[in-house]
Amino acid sequence: MSIEIQKNIPLSKHTTFKIGGQAKFFCVIGNINEIQGALEYAKENKLAVFVLGGGSNILVLDKGFDGLVIKIQDTRCEIQTSDKIFVGTGLSLAKVVSESVKNNLTGLEWVAGIPGTVGGAICNNTGAHGKSMEDIVEEMEVIELFNYDKGIWVVKKLINQECNFSYRSSVFKKEKKYIVLSAILKLKKGDEAESRKIVAEYLKIRREKQPLEYPSAGSVFKNPKIEDLVLKKIFIEYPELEKIVKDNIVPVGWFIEMLGLKGKKIGGAMISEKHGNFIVNTGDAKAEDVIILISLIKQKVRDRFGVQLHEEIEYVGF
């Protein structure tokens, strides 16, 4: 086996939250042969597997991950046709935006400023500004893990319609039986200068509205879609909310601001004063601090508004 298996690697160094214990085993891979080698190692040693991209959108338990973490660093990026890009799933979102703009392709500008990799964005169906990955993913190459502990896995291709994309989710996040290797993104012919203007505007919005000065995992909760009856009750007390609700979806940050929770701190973790749907690491936060804040927010929103929140971030090692 050509890959290097490392031991007891701090995952805090591999996540945007800068939180989390050690991975008992850890390897960095760049191609399909190395992934298969890593899976074989996990099978032989009866290890649980977690596939890591850019480390955004996750919270790692303080005690770490008692298995094998596979970090994908396949950063291939090739312009295939006048409107398609082939990408390895270890490619950063920043790089794929840059390459698309440089080649006069439009459709990825909304990704500007989002941390992480293409693979993570596909699995989470990452979105912003009314758009998401499901709008541009045409086809993916994946490893399907039928029963990896018995060495049963196959490489296959999936088209968009087979990915069961939904709000901040996909078949890859729900079923955990695939590893995404590469993807073909379908864009449109554009103008580099115009795209750069759009990217600059989106980056400006992020700087103004998000706490980029602190480590975080991005948005903590999904914006809930609320039943008509519950929403009408909320409108009675907060009629101004109607101006920002679309299709019964309420921004989580609004609930948190109304509850006066911005700036609430537990240990080294704090609910951002700039954006209520961000929990930030002020320097020495533990996963436990974040979990307590998440539980507090969910309880307060449920008790006050009758709305159950659901996490967007993924827990690792829990």
pLDDT, tens digit, 9 for 90 and up, residues 265-283: 999 999 999 999 999 999 9
DSSP for 28-80 reads EE-SHHHHHHHHHHHHHTT--EEEESS--SEEE-TT-EEEEEEEE----EEEE
Which has the closest alpha carbon to 56: 109, 29, 18, 111?
Answer: 18
Q: Which of 168, 182, 195, 272 is catalytic?
A: 168
Domain extent listing, the chain: 6-72, 77-197, 212-316
Check residue 81 and give its pLDDT: 85
pTM assigned to the model: 0.92
SS3 label, residue 221: strand
Check residue 119 and give its pLDDT: 94
Residue 158 clears pLDDT 60, i.e. is over it: yes
> How many Å apart are CA 278 and CA 238, to the nearest integer?
23
The stretch 66-84 carries a mean pLDDT of: 93
CATH topology of domain 6-72: 3.30.43
Check residue 160 and give its pLDDT: 96
Check residue 151 and give its pLDDT: 64
> How many Å apart are CA 318 and CA 316, to the nearest integer?
6
> How many Å apart are CA 302 and CA 276, to the nearest integer?
16
What band does 148 get if pLDDT is binned at 50, 70 and 90?
low
The stretch 226-240 carries a mean pLDDT of: 94
Check residue 82 and give its pLDDT: 86
Residue 214 clears pLDDT 80, i.e. is over it: yes
What band does 297 get if pLDDT is binned at 50, 70 and 90?
very high
Check residue 153 and give its pLDDT: 78
Whether 219 sits among the annotated catalytic residues: the reply is: yes
**Portion of the chain with pLDDT greater than 90, in percent:** 89
Residue 150 clears pLDDT 70, i.e. is over it: no
Give me the phi and psi of 254, to 5 degrees please: -65, -45
Residue 20 clears pLDDT 90, i.e. is over it: yes
> How many Å apart are CA 46 and CA 42, to the nearest integer?
6
Say yes or no: domain 212-316 is CATH 3.30.565.10.
no
Residue 114 clears pLDDT 90, i.e. is over it: yes
Residue 313 clears pLDDT 70, i.e. is over it: yes
Residue 57 clears pLDDT 80, i.e. is over it: yes
The stretch 73-83 carries a mean pLDDT of: 92
Residues 6+ away with beta carbon under 8 Å from 171: 162, 163, 164, 178
The stretch 195-207 carries a mean pLDDT of: 96
Site of tokens 């703009």:
101
Residues 6+ away with beta carbon under 8 Å from 233: 306
Whether 134 sits among the annotated catalytic residues: the reply is: no
Class of domain 77-197: alpha beta
Whether 312 sits among the annotated catalytic residues: the reply is: yes
SS3 label, residue 156: strand
Check residue 120 and give its pLDDT: 93
**Portion of the chain with pLDDT greater than 70, in percent:** 97
Same fold, 6-72 and 77-197: no
The gap between the terminal CA atoms of the chain, to the nearest Å, is: 30
Residue 149 clears pLDDT 70, i.e. is over it: no
The stretch 293-302 carries a mean pLDDT of: 98
What band does 109 get if pLDDT is binned at 50, 70 and 90?
very high
Neighbours of 306 (CB within 10 A): 13
Q: Which of 92, 195, 219, 272 is catalytic?
A: 219
The stretch 145-153 carries a mean pLDDT of: 68
Residue 34 clears pLDDT 60, i.e. is over it: yes
Check residue 289 and give its pLDDT: 98
